[in-house]
Structure 1
């Protein structure tokens, strides 16, 4: 409990620090020294007085870690047995570079290195990120949609709220004084091409609403931001972030998740809730899922529907071969299988298209075709990087089309298409007959926008716009730039340096990575090349060979997904005996593609292209009948062999597929009875994996000498050798 004395003491400390930081803000060297020294003060005793962990998390996070536990916790606690809080939900994000604030502590960067004010994010948006459509020649809208769905599994940065968890109204330009000190609205230039200079309803200057992210750390020093989600690829956006949320989504019958019956015909939809303050559906209800953004737009909601159906399909298969399993066993094994498939599709189909196969190889992101992954490292944390969540992984905003296209059974267009601005937090439309199928067919048969500096006005003018209220929308690009400054991210030029690109001194030196036309526009808005914001700089780069993103975003994204694989004890290919799949089970998981998931869970889809992220093509990517796609053999999860899936040695029982030590010199493995001896070089019975889809690799890069100094991991990232010296080959240096 927080007593008045505690509150008074905390407030006094905060006032003293703010006053001191104000005195120091004019001297960068003094600010940096002050910022560094503050990190030595541990305030966890004060912070621990605040009941951050409620009962929903206490059941998991107040008990010792069990190394033999076969399933993940919901919060990510105890994934790392040596450091149980690594990657856990509601913990601070990590950084590649130290935070940069004007006062060294909290005040966002607002001045150029030349001393003049930084340009308004809105001016940068209208100058460098205008609306020009340039559809991609190969990739579908589904790639964009999958990326957003993926992002919502691993990152969620909470913002400051008002009383009763209300959303702060930070639209007025002086709202930091009139509403809440954490308001930081974005100024709109006088000659803005869309927004008016004056708010017509209030008569005050027009600004774009912005609320600062919630700070959270246990040491004094620069402001850090929280990741409300677990960092792991654990499908928490499907299952929930804590035990209470997970229970609220379960039927507690047959291992199933709750669904809402379709009012006319079709498979179930997500459960609904009226407890969503952002919901704009005419019914007043929006979807409930493991992540509260499930109804953000119709394409995202559709993907949530597909994956909840997949869970229920998997547990139905398990129940048919193991009728004696109870609800808990069905649910947990189903959750484990779905999470494994989710990880496999992400690394096998999605990431290669984003990074290219050379970067996949460099960061050790390629999944195996057989055997287990032996690279788990308990000294590293999977925690999400602030640079990743606040800038680099927002590259997908460039891929958005202004409409969601609907398509019928034969892939003919159905009218009307869905204007993006009309689908924000409006899940009612998914209750229309065949709407899930129509949206999904549109996503997999419509090209996404090219990854470039251009972004549709649906999100730069009309984001979350209220119907009947002109100019009530937000600008996503402005929000991205402002958010990065809010989080203390350093300018683009500094991230070039750690990603093996040359740190430049003039704008024109950027020409090796950024087109000259964009460099000329940067000169119009930025006083110095050292002022360029990370989002704008990274999005302006020429893509990596075979990938979508440029070298700087490729570096940040590659590092993040390296951590998510190497630092996850429950990674689906793990060799850990107590939690791994058998080799035969793993081979079945490796057969699954996103096309298979879609075929199984749409209502009336009979054929899809093999590679769902790519546009259909009669020769290169033909549509094939769903019934001919490879399916998982669930018989490999059937109990009954070896006494109900158990072995017993000297009175000790253990599950099929696991290995235990029964003496210092003897280890026993539980298998499906006799198996022929494996080849000498293999550990355990070798089973060839079914072929998996992989896009054709790009031609090898030219062999040229590597430039730039390597970046070596340390601190919260553990002893991972990042190997960034190899980036020189990717970038053609």
Structure 2
């Protein structure tokens, strides 16, 4: 176990969360039994109660063995952080500082990604191994979508929502264009520029020069906390630009532009902007403002700043709740997981007991994580490179879209994803109403996260600067570049058995032959993303069980570590009005508050991310 590093030069041993020496023998026995049962039977094949017990044991194992702290690595040029002020007790800061009052840098904008793999397994491969096999050839051979494979249990809002979350959680920045990776192309590759150039990930500016024997680190340009920074900005200057200055409210988009008075902050200038993302931004700007109206009515003497700060807390917590108890159970709709995610929020005693009596136990299993004690499990909180890797789920995005009227399902427009991306998104937003757009997403399916289902328009993606890139190849290269292990090694580190051969990796014999050719018969070279896309999925899952293991660990950790979702989830911080708003609302109620035209179509669903009813044609 290493010591916390104060930023001076020198070498430290990175901390992990291994608490084997202090864990009770019963907990250790349960955890080891959970691993054995999972290997022998599989948690997903057990009755719900036994499956839940197994998952709890698997999560405990991951907490003890798969949290590694990169903030202990040598550091320099860290910005000065003063002691906490009284306002920090009840406010989220613009840059994520002071969430942990004893360690105010923890999780702030510009801090390092952590790791779920140990340091000795986190070194990126060097050339030529890092280019083997060619990321472009992997993309062409096993990612290319020949026919759209839908995820029929959910609607297309799950794709828009996920990117809305990613914009809050993680960003490595735009990369170093002057130091690009060169991907050599096959003779028959139609790519217009040779070689394919991919900007390298930005180096960590807080890392001293010189070889300290530790793997490279990378900076998150976002706050690591679940604080809705995609709505509120990553620094105080950006936040001020987004606010009206009256009654705590945010500026509502005009003609689709989220920053119409500041072109330099226009999100269409950043890769990845599309109409689905703009829709989610607009919806939750409206929701924030609705919360402000409620707070103004309850507390007429409050200033603009007081209303804004409480409304931000409430909005961020509502978003975290929606992701935990609605989005996640929709995309991994196995019965054990549907219950498990609700347990994270409400505990096994359930929502009804929670509403009647509040927390009746300090146990997160009985009464949920939210409102309980804050716990970092021995390692300062950060999101991890492995977390970023498993959330590369571009197959969720369809290539072809139909926009229809919520009134009668009449066709308004057919479009490709290219028509929805970048500045083209503003044309869609100007042409159609938000109720029609949300209806169109709600009655459409996203793609299944699997091989041969990568969007063709993302394999020929035009960046805002006009340059083309194959995001499939970029995804493959990025995971290698950031030192995330390849598929089999990744599974070993997560206490899962590796694939013995290509036939045991996938149940599709055609895919097994394709993968054998691409990786020249070496199962150990299969890329993490490719292996996750290839492996059989548990019932109800839109993505892989391997990715799910990181999710089991990090989904609860984001709640456990955040004091605003644990010990400070109180009426004194949120107000009772705020807590009631969070507890009494869902994605469906948010949508219907702002777009009541959707009510008829949404009557058919209990979860807003499930497919909606198609409107009846007018007679």
> Shorter chain as normaliser: what TM range?
0.7 to 0.9
Q: Do the aligned partners of residues 573 and 408 (structure 1) sit closer, same or farther apart at CA in structure 2, a change above 3 Å counting? A: farther
Is the contact between residue 405 and residue 436 of structure 2 (CA under 8 Å) also seen in structure 1?
yes
Q: How does 1:68-87 map to 2 (within 5 A)?
A: 69-87=89-107
Aligned equivalent of 1:127: 141
Pick closer, same or farther for the CA change 1:108–1:306 going to 2, 3 Å.
Answer: farther
How many angstroms apart in 1 are the aligned matches of 2:261 and 2:508?
47
> 2:416, 2:246 → 1: CA distance?
39
Distance 1:572 1:416, change over 3 A: farther
Whether 1:212 aligns to 2:201 is yes
Report the secondary structure of 1:185's partner residue: strand
Matched residue count? 517
Q: Secondary structure at the match of 1:418?
A: strand
For 1:455, the equivalent position in structure 2 comes to 453
Question: 1:93: how far off?
Answer: 0.5
Q: Is the 8 A contact 1:109 1:485 kept in 2?
A: no
Q: Match for 1:592 among 571, 582, 585?
A: 585
Q: Residue 528 of structure 2 aligns with which residue?
A: 534
Q: Is it true that 1:144 corresponds to 2:159 in the alignment? A: yes
Alpha-carbon displacement from aligned partner over 1:523-571 (angstroms, at most 9, x marks no partner): 1111311111111111222222332222210001221212101111111
Superposed displacement of residue 603, structure 1? 8.2
Residues 305-328 of structure 1 show CA distances to partners (whole Å, capped at 9, x for unaligned) of 111111112112222333222211
Quote the residue 2:129 is aligned against: 111
Whole-angstrom CA distance in 2 between matches of 1:453 and 1:127: 10
Of 146, 153, 156, the match for 2:171 = 156
> SS state of the match for residue 564, structure 2?
coil
Deviation per residue, 1:274-309 (Å, 9 max, x gap) = 544xxxxxxxx9358xxx759711111111111111
Equivalent residue number for residue 398 of structure 2: 401
Q: Tell me, what secondary structure is at the counterpart of 1:349?
A: helix
Query: CA-to-partner distance for each residue in 1:97-118, whole Å, 9 max, x for gaps?
Result: 14679xx966646428xxxx61
The equivalences for 1:371-450 within 5 A come to: 371-372=358-359, 373-378=371-376, 379-389=378-388, 391-395=389-393, 397-426=394-423, 427-430=425-428, 432-450=430-448
Gapped runs of 5+ residues in structure 1? Answer: 1-9, 14-38, 162-167, 169-179, 200-204, 263-267, 277-284, 624-733
**Residue 589 of structure 2 aligns to a residue in which SS?**
helix
Deviations 1:431-480 (A, max 9, x none): 5254433322211111112232123443343212689x8xx532111110
What's 1:476 paired with?
471
- Aligned 8 A contact 1:272 1:287 in 2: no
Q: TM-score, normalised by structure 2?
A: 0.75
Where 2:392 maps in the other structure, the secondary structure is: helix
Partner Cα separation in structure 2 for residue 360 and residue 567 of structure 1: 23
Once the two structures are superposed, what CA deviation does each residue of 1:320-352 show, in whole Å capped at 9, x if it has no partner?
333222211111121121112111111010112
1:317 paired to 2:311: no
- The 5-angstrom pairing of residues 657-672 of structure 1 reads none
Judge conservation of contact 2:88–2:98 (CA < 8 Å) in 1: no
CA RMSD of superposed structures (Å): 3.3
CA separation in 1, counterparts of 2:452 and 2:110?
A: 34
Q: Could you say what secondary structure the match of 2:565 adopts?
A: coil
1:183 aligned counterpart, secondary structure: strand
Q: Aligned ranges for residues 9-48 of structure 1 at < 5 Å?
A: 43-44=74-75, 47-48=76-77
Equivalent residues in 2 for 1:538-617 (5 A)?
538-571=532-565, 578-579=572-573, 582=576, 586-602=579-595, 605-609=598-602, 610=605, 611-617=607-613
Q: Which moves more between the two structures, 354-363 or 549-558? A: 354-363
Give TM-score scaled by structure 1 length: 0.64
Structure with more contact order per residue of length (Cα contacts < 8 Å, sep ≥ 6): 2
Judging by fraction of residues, say which structure has more helix: 2
Structure 2 counterpart of 1:191, from 188, 195, 198? 188
- 1:271 is aligned to 259
Matched, 1:502 2:497: yes
Q: Name the CA shift for 1:501/1:540 in 2 (closer, same or farther; >3 Å).
A: same
The residue that corresponds to 1:64 in the other structure is: 84
* d(CA) in 2 for partners of 1:87, 1:541: 33
Aligned to 1:671: none
Q: Tell me if the contact between 1:348 and 1:367 (Cα under 8 Å) persists in the aligned partners.
A: yes
The answer to whether 1:224 aligns with 2:212 is: no
Distance change >3 Å, CA 612–CA 366, structure 1 → 2: same
> Structure 1 residues 66, 357: closer, same or farther in 2, change over 3 A?
farther
- The 2-side partners of 1:598 and 1:530 are apart by 46
CA contact (8 A) 1:453 1:540 kept: yes
Quote the offset at 1:491 in angstroms. Answer: 0.9
Using a 3 Å threshold, how does the CA distance of structure 1 residues 342 and 363 change in structure 2: closer, same or farther? closer
Aligned partners of 2:73 and 2:143: how far apart in 1? 42
CA shift in 2, pair 1:480/1:287, >3 Å: closer
Q: What is the CA distance between 1:617 and its match in structure 2? A: 4.5
CA contact under 8 A between 1:399 and 1:448: conserved in structure 2? yes
